[in-house]
Amino acid sequence: MIPRADDYATVYARFRWNVPERYNMAHDACDRHAADPGRVALVVEGEAGGTREWTFHRIRQLANRCANLLEACGVEPGDRVAILLGQAVETAVANLACFKCGAVSMPLFTKFDLEDLEFRLADGAARVLVTDIENFARVEPAVDRLPHLETVFTVDGETDGARDFWRELERGSARYETRATRAEDPAVLLYTSGTTGSPKGVLHAQRILLGHIPGMDFANNYLGQAGDRLWSPADWAWIGGLFDILMPAWYYGLPVIAAPRPDFDPEEALDILARHGVRNTLLLPTMLKLMAQVPGGRHDVALRSVFTGGEPVGADVMAWAEETLGAAVNEIYGQTECNLVAGGCSMLLERRPGAIGVPIPGHVVDVVDDDGELAEPGGTGHIAVRQPDPVAMLSYWRRPEANAEKVVNGWLLTGDVGHKDEDGFLWFTGRADDVITCDGVQFGPGAIEECLTAHQDVALAAAIGVPDPSRGEVVKAFVVVREGSSAGSGLRGVLLALGRRDLPAHAAPQGIEFVENLPRTTTGKIMRRELRRQEVDRQRGQTRERRPPARSSGAPGSERRPRREEGTDDT
């Protein structure tokens, strides 16, 4: 935990890591709280209403039974166990069981399609899958192509090809001695969301939980205060749900709300926060923007801390959150490979909307050039994290070439571009692939999108750079209008004028396209690379339409076929 003090500089200077050689996060997150038989760990809400409470005492018994079950199936330390479930007690139990016995948990998102699931199950060579009947039915067509997958458990009964998870648990012993694993032993294999390319397996060690604690303290204005109670829509298959909510909350012995829903509904989210007396929450920027559009006065929400990350949050949304939710928004920064390394803490620092914050105590975060040397003061470069770092991954899974590209001169490159101001605040320009260059100036899409979404008729916006022969690139924006508003030439003209008024000339959108929705990753981040791809494909199509027909020599069969251009997707 971070030390108590009245200012950031003192807290940062006083912090020291204490990562023991032997460490098992199942002990820290569950076993040590289980002596109190009434201490609540999890409150699970059903979709039809009604809740069930689970204590740490009961969770430990179930995790012990599950660890015994995994070992009875032949699972050994280092073997991968896939968990294809949403926010559920079985998800938590299966993860803890893996940590206890030294297996590697492999969380999978239930909204993945068969191709995504098969890729991960094959790439991770999972030996066991814990899921439910509905999701197993989706995976079953691929089972014959997964030679490593030996055992499948379904949590809602037995079915062909899968064993009944709960029946098997009850047959086993509730006694299990948690392994004395090393802090550096592999514990969890998470896959990136594919924001900038194909998903990569990210292998983390048992120490990942300890690595998250300073960031959770920082982002929650010192977590673990009386009455703290956590919930987030973030799925537990992702690092944000599993290690920004569930596992850190249990490290502190705090209760977590599980309210599984197929899709995010902003009004329902406000209802959950109010009904369960949630005090601490992780809400992504897109979620906050949608929640801010819900008419006020319907929900009695009283949060102590709100933290968010993944994309910039505008000043207007921050002001709404403070007034409506009762807490200042602390932005956090990190990624699957190295999470919660920078951010804000409203108890210790002023808020600077647009900045991603400062290095969280325990982490060294700075801006470097392509060679891993510190950038000039105020200069733009790669946002990077000094290695080693307790929250950093062990390695990419079976991707040595990716490992070599990720760490340069002792700095883990996040793939983001930004700069650091004179006060030490880090500013995010954009993903390296999202940076726009117009008139020789490099900038990110954040300020443009904030400008457009400030208009009352705009729900969401995304900005990209499109090629321009004289300026390098110009800005094009894609806009989703709010429900009840009308898209059209009138609104387009208003938004273009708004950009010219409030943005530098190089950043003002030159074109606006209204769309029904924006492409997003499964974690809710806008996929601007997909918008760029669509734009490139459209421009290529327009070029082909303008291309004159091929000439013919007149002889049958002698028509000249158009030459296939390099780099296209033509077949």
Both tokens assigned to 338 = 């190295």
360 found inside a domain: no
Q: Are 452 and 445 within 8 A, CB to CB?
A: no
Distance CA 281, CA 347 (A): 17
Angle between helices 446-453 and 489-502 (to 10 degrees): 130
186 found inside a domain: yes
- Over its length of 571 residues, how does the chain's per-residue pLDDT go in tens digits? 899 999 999 999 999 999 999 999 999 999 999 999 999 999 999 867 789 999 999 999 999 999 999 999 999 999 999 999 999 999 999 999 999 999 999 999 998 889 999 999 999 999 999 999 999 999 999 999 999 999 999 999 999 999 999 999 999 899 999 999 999 999 999 998 655 556 899 999 999 999 999 999 999 999 999 999 999 999 999 999 999 999 999 999 999 999 998 889 999 999 999 999 999 999 998 899 889 989 877 789 999 999 998 777 888 889 999 999 999 999 999 999 999 999 999 999 998 877 899 999 999 999 999 999 999 988 989 999 999 999 999 999 999 999 999 999 999 999 888 899 999 999 987 776 677 878 766 677 888 988 999 899 999 999 999 988 878 789 999 999 998 888 877 899 999 999 999 998 888 999 999 999 998 876 677 888 889 888 878 877 665 555 554 443 333 333 333 322 223 232 2
109 found inside a domain: yes
104 found inside a domain: yes
8-state DSSP, 150: -
Which amino acid belongs to residue 422? Answer: E
Distance CA 568, CA 158 (A): 48
List C-alpha distances in Å: 398 to 125, 189, 324, 413. Answer: 11, 11, 46, 19
Domain of 32, in residue numbers: 21-37+62-206
pTM: 0.80
Distance CA 208, CA 187 (A): 9
Specify the CATH number for the domain of residue 475: 3.30.300.30
Number of domains in the chain: 2
396 found inside a domain: no
550 found inside a domain: no
**Residue 187: which of 421, 49, 388, 28 has the closest Cα?**
28
- Strands in 302-410 per DSSP E: 305-309, 329-335, 338-343, 355-359, 365-368, 381-386, 395-396, 407-408
Q: Are 17 and 362 within 8 A, CB to CB?
A: yes
241 found inside a domain: no
25 found inside a domain: yes
| Residue ending a domain, choose from 160, 188, 206 | 206
